Structure 1
Amino acid sequence: MDAQTRLEINHIHAPKLVEYGLIEWDEANYRVKAGPNFERIRPLLELLDQHEESLPDDWIRLGTDEEDTSGG
């Protein structure tokens, strides 16, 4: 993961997801687990996963492990 992405996750995305109760985030160990409101979005995530091939190419693909070639 490059430095810019890590910065955005740490200071923008993860805090918002915590605020909404979607995740619980252990920032020190960089670990995430489902939060108290996660079940509210599970159907949406499952729908996106089921239709992954129909999503735009520049969207994040769930269940893929793309190598980080940025050197970061």
Structure 2
Amino acid sequence: MSRHRLETLEFETIASLLASETRRTVLARLRTVDRTTAHDLSRYLTAADRETDLDDAAGTRTAAIALHHNHLPRLAEHGVVDYDESEAEVTPGPNFDDLEPIIDCLERVDD
């Protein structure tokens, strides 16, 4: 997939984007799939969250709202993901590659 880079991300932007566990999980998921939907990401996040005391439907709904109103627009604003709200489709954006090595390191630390 050819992605045309928008701009180089500043360190502060990268740190801010990766400060959220939800955004780190979304980006880690996009390393394994070329495209996904906001709904699939919300289900993935709910399944990955072992500390939730919400039932699956409520957890998925909560995750979907947070993705739609906060995390995906923020990642899209910086070109890290492309988020088509009308189709709820999410793909890696032109600046995704800037964060990929950092995500890789963070995943190794978590394992």
Shift of 1:44: 0.7
Q: Which moved more, 1:11-20 or 1:26-35?
A: 26-35
The percentage of aligned residue pairs carrying the same residue is: 28
- Alignment of structure 1 residues 50-65 onto 2, 5 Å: 50-53=108-111
Provide the rounded CA distance (Å) in 1 between the counterparts of 2:95 and 2:109.
23
Residues 1:33 and 2:33 aligned together: no
Shift of 1:28: 2.4
Instruction: List structure 1 segments (4+ residues) > 4 angstroms apart after TM superposition.
Output: none
Q: Which runs of 5+ in 2 are unaligned?
A: 1-42, 44-59
How many residue pairs end up in the alignment?
53
Shift of 1:30: 2.2
Q: Which runs of 5+ in 1 are unaligned?
A: 54-72
- Give 1:57's aligned residue: none
With a CA cutoff of 8 Å and minimum separation of 6, indicate the structure with the bigger relative contact order.
2
